[in-house]
């Protein structure tokens, strides 16, 4: 240790003796004894490093992180999950096709019970998760990367923002874009504004923004953050059960509890995505009827469209034309933006430019009151929340595994702060603007012509699947744009079904990044079957069937999301970067206090070993050898046995010890490219 440069400086060395070190500029009888104590402490520190056994000889504060790609994992088909969930879904589809009325009655009763007794859970999630994420982003945890220390983001900021933008575009915007704000304009949330008034214009679009904005994306973001963190920072497979490992030590992906968690995630994703496919098919069918002049045909046409587009999805899943699906997604994003610009340019441009700032301010200003609305405020409020707000929160919960895994994949290398701010605000801004353009156009046309809802009430509104085409028909060029809308909806159907089936296939194959195509196709068929049951159950009012089944099936996964929050926070507290930050604050604070007490203004800091029990010990009260701190970065082979690994070079030390282990029986028939290398 280098002594201070002059006699006016001294080194603060917190220790047990409490004596002042001798000035460097002059001799002191205490100097030899002091140097001896320092030497003893250095030797004690070296003995500590030798004697304390850390995994792979690395302190948990110095681990750079562990990526799932660097782990030795043998993926395989989880037959219990596939058989149990698959059988249950097939049985439900058969029951729904044979006895849709029985499904409606049972699901309606369940919906009533859930909304009246547990509606608070969905509302608490929507409000609480946004707050939690912002707190994490702005805290010291916000600097933790979703990846290894020093790892650069996989995508540039512009590309990442574009992909988040694309994630915010889907069937729901076209289906609900004009319908939902118009409904709120004619029938506002109880206790807010009078119907069809000037105040109702911005209030209606602000209510829609509540359902589709920041709070919706907070539900996706917390799942995406947890998946990204455990996969790219902690080295665990991207399964919902893997996120909860800190709360249930010893739980593996093959345990009953883990399979239950992952099974519930699959069920939620199936029903949530099926709802989007169902409304998409309804709107394609109605658009086709209008464009071709067929007239109303009921749900038969929609069911036929589901069948045809599901076949297209299966073909894409089995043939592995992933590049084609990505190309279609990019084309559809461009078409969707073009569609919104069409409404903006040929519609009431000046009105929209004036109303957009008002909607954003109204949305932010009324957010607390809107989130505070609850089921105890009378029957009118109960009906509104059940039909809209709670339904939406449940729908987003059911979409969370699907969207969460997607945003996690594209966000590798981003810090938690970047992830949260990007995922919360980029797609939600796009959606709020889209709803303002579509809904604002519909409201403006209603105020100018009264043609959208002739009697000025929701009773005369066109059906949700029809209103988009009704509004479009009042704009110039509708005959050219209407067929394009049908194409956009069809592409959305195929790309959504393909992506959701892929996620479910991964969840049923242990998180395998390149899942079996036949399993993917199976889940596509299951989603299509559920969508058909939703349409049959709702009958003339298909939305009722969607609402009933989504709210009920999303409930279990909402509890899992709550547990995810606790598990994520527990792991963040012991992240290597968090440990270093804790040590930094402790070391500097204690050393400065000691230095000022012993030496006044002029002193320097030095690092010296101390006893673990010392009040000056940086890690006082922290057990760096605890399993919850060190167990996560132990490298293991495909069988779960510890193996030698050098974190300095990033290499396994037994690579030359022998050949790659044989694949699991269910993997043997797969081509080599379908198996992960060590």
289-330, pLDDT tens digit by residue?
999 887 777 778 899 999 999 998 888 777 765 566 677 778
Q: Which two tokens stand for residue 4?
A: 């201070």
Pairing of strands 651-652, 645-646: antiparallel
Q: Which of 562, 177, 496, 493 has its CA nearest to residue 339? A: 177
CA 146/CA 148 separation, integer angstroms: 7
For residue 11, what pLDDT is reported? 37
Q: Characterize 126-161 residue by residue with b for buried, 16 or more Cβ atoms within 10 angstroms of its Cβ, and e for exposed.
A: bbbbbebbbebbeeebbebbbbbeebebbbeeeebe
Q: Which of 224, 136, 204 has its CA nearest to residue 564? A: 224
Give the CA count within 13 Å in the CB-facing half-sphere of 316.
26
Q: Which of 491, 494, 501, 488 has its CA nearest to residue 310? A: 494
CA 281/CA 292 separation, integer angstroms: 16
CA 299/CA 640 separation, integer angstroms: 52
CA 173/CA 432 separation, integer angstroms: 10
Q: Which two tokens stand for residue 601?
A: 């203004």
Pairing of strands 11-12, 604-605: parallel
Q: Which two tokens stand for residue 534?
A: 């939703």
**Contact (Cβ atoms closer than 8 angstroms) between residue 554 and residue 397:** yes
Q: CA angle, 481 as apex, 476 and 487 as ends, to 5°?
A: 170
Give pLDDT tens digits for 559-568: 999 999 999 9
**Contact (Cβ atoms closer than 8 angstroms) between residue 412 and residue 228:** yes
Token look-up 């701190």 returns: 629
Beta-bridge mates of residue 415: 145
Q: What are phi and psi of 567, to 5 degrees?
A: -65, -45
Q: CA angle, 261 as apex, 259 and 267 as ends, to 5°?
A: 100
Q: Which of 138, 9, 148, 4 has its CA nearest to residue 65? A: 148
CA 22/CA 476 separation, integer angstroms: 90
For residue 25, what pLDDT is reported? 38
Q: Characterize 608-634 residue by residue with b for buried, 16 or more Cβ atoms within 10 angstroms of its Cβ, and e for exposed.
A: bbbeeeeebbbbeebeeeeeebbebbe
Token look-up 């030795």 returns: 72
For residue 33, what pLDDT is reported? 56
Give the CA count within 13 Å in the CB-facing half-sphere of 312.
17
Q: Which of 487, 642, 456 has its CA nearest to residue 71? A: 642
Token look-up 């919706």 returns: 216
Q: Characterize 229-240 residue by residue with b for buried, 16 or more Cβ atoms within 10 angstroms of its Cβ, and e for exposed.
A: bbbbbbbbbbbb
CA 209/CA 397 separation, integer angstroms: 17
**Contact (Cβ atoms closer than 8 angstroms) between residue 1 and residue 606:** yes
**Contact (Cβ atoms closer than 8 angstroms) between residue 384 and residue 514:** no
Listed in sequence order, the residues at least 6 apart from 498 whose beta carbon sits closer than 8 Å to its beta carbon are 313, 316, 317, 325, 524
**Contact (Cβ atoms closer than 8 angstroms) between residue 397 and residue 219:** yes
Q: CA angle, 150 as apex, 144 and 155 as ends, to 5°?
A: 85
Low-confidence ranges of the chain (pLDDT < 70): 1-52, 320-325, 539-543, 655-678
Give the CA count within 13 Å in the CB-facing half-sphere of 68.
22
For residue 662, what pLDDT is reported? 37
- By CB atoms closer than 10 A (0-12, 13-18, 19+), residue 49 is exposed
**Contact (Cβ atoms closer than 8 angstroms) between residue 410 and residue 566:** no
3-state secondary structure 362-414: HHHHHHHHHHHCCCCCCHHHHHHHHHHHHHHHHHHHHHHHHHHHHHHHHCCCC
CA 471/CA 347 separation, integer angstroms: 10
For residue 458, what pLDDT is reported? 93
Beta-bridge mates of residue 213: none
Q: Cβ of 294: how many Cβ atoms within 10 Å?
A: 12
């Amino acid at each position: 240790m280098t002594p201070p440069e002059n006699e006016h400086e001294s080194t603060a060395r917190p220790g047990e003796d409490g004596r002042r070190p001798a000035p460097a500029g002059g001799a002191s009888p205490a100097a030899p004894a002091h140097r001896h104590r320092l030497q003893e402490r250095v030797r004690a520190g070296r003995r500590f490093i030798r004697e304390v056994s850390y995994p792979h000889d690395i302190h948990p504060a110095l681990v750079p992180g562990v990526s799932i790609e660097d782990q030795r994992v043998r993926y395989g088909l989880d037959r219990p999950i596939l058989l149990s969930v698959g059988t249950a879904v097939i049985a439900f589809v058969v029951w729904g096709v044979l006895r849709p009325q029985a499904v409606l009655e049972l699901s309606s009763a369940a919906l009533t019970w859930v909304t009246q007794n547990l509606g608070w859970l969905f509302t608490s999630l929507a409000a609480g998760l946004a707050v939690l994420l912002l707190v994490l982003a702005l805290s010291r945890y916000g600097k933790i990367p979703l990846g290894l220390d020093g790892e650069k983001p996989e995508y540039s900021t512009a590309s990442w923002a574009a992909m988040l933008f694309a994630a915010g575009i889907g069937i729901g915007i076209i289906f609900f874009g004009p319908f939902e704000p118009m409904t709120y304009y004619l029938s506002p949330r109880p206790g807010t504004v009078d119907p069809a008034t000037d105040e109702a214009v911005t209030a209606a679009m602000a209510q829609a923004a509540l359902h589709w904005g920041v709070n919706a994306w907070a539900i996706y973001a917390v799942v995406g953050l947890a998946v990204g963190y455990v996969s790219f920072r902690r080295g665990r497979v991207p399964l919902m059960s893997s996120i909860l490992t800190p709360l249930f030590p010893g739980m593996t992906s093959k345990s009953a509890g883990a399979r239950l968690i992952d099974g519930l995630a699959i069920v939620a994703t199936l029903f949530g995505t099926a709802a989007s496919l169902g409304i998409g098919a309804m709107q394609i069918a109605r658009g086709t009827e209008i464009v071709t002049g067929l007239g109303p045909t009921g749900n038969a046409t929609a069911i036929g469209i589901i069948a045809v587009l599901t076949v297209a999805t299966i073909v894409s899943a089995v043939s592995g034309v992933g590049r084609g699906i990505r190309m279609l997604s990019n084309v559809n994003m461009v078409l969707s933006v073009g569609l919104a610009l069409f409404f903006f340019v040929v519609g009431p441009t000046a009105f929209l430019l004036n109303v957009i700032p008002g909607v954003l301010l109204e949305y932010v200003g009324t957010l607390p009151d809107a989130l505070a609305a609850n089921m105890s405020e009378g029957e009118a409020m109960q009906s509104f929340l059940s039909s809209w707000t709670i339904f939406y929160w449940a729908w987003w919960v059911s979409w969370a595994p699907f969207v969460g895994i997607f945003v996690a994949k594209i966000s590798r290398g981003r810090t938690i702060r970047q992830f949260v701010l990007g995922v919360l605000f980029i797609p939600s801004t796009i959606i709020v603007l889209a709803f303002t353009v579509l809904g604002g156009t519909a409201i403006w046309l209603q105020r100018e012509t009264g043609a959208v809802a002739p009697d000025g009430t929701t009773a005369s509104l066109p059906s949700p699947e029809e209103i988009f085409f009704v509004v479009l028909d009042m704009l110039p060029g509708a005959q050219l744009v209407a067929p394009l809308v049908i194409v956009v909806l069809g592409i959305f159907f195929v790309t959504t079904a393909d992506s959701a089936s892929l996620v479910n296939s991964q969840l049923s194959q242990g998180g395998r990044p390149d899942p079996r195509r036949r399993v993917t196709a199976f889940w596509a068929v299951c989603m299509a079957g559920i969508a058909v049951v939703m349409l049959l159950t709702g009958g003339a009012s298909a939305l009722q069937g969607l609402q009933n089944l989504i709210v009920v099936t999303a409930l279990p996964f909402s509890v899992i999301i709550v547990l995810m929050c606790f598990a994520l926070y527990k792991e963040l507290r012991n992240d290597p970067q968090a440990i270093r930050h804790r040590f930094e604050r402790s070391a500097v604070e204690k050393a400065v206090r000691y230095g000022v007490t012993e030496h006044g203004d002029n002193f320097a800091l030095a690092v010296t070993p101390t006893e673990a029990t010392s009040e000056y010990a940086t890690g006082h009260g922290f057990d760096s050898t605890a399993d919850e701190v060190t167990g996560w970065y132990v490298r293991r082979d495909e069988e779960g046995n510890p193996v030698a690994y050098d974190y300095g070079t990033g290499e396994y030390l037994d690579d030359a010890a022998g050949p790659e282990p044989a694949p699991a029986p269910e993997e043997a028939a797969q081509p080599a490219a379908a198996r992960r290398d060590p």
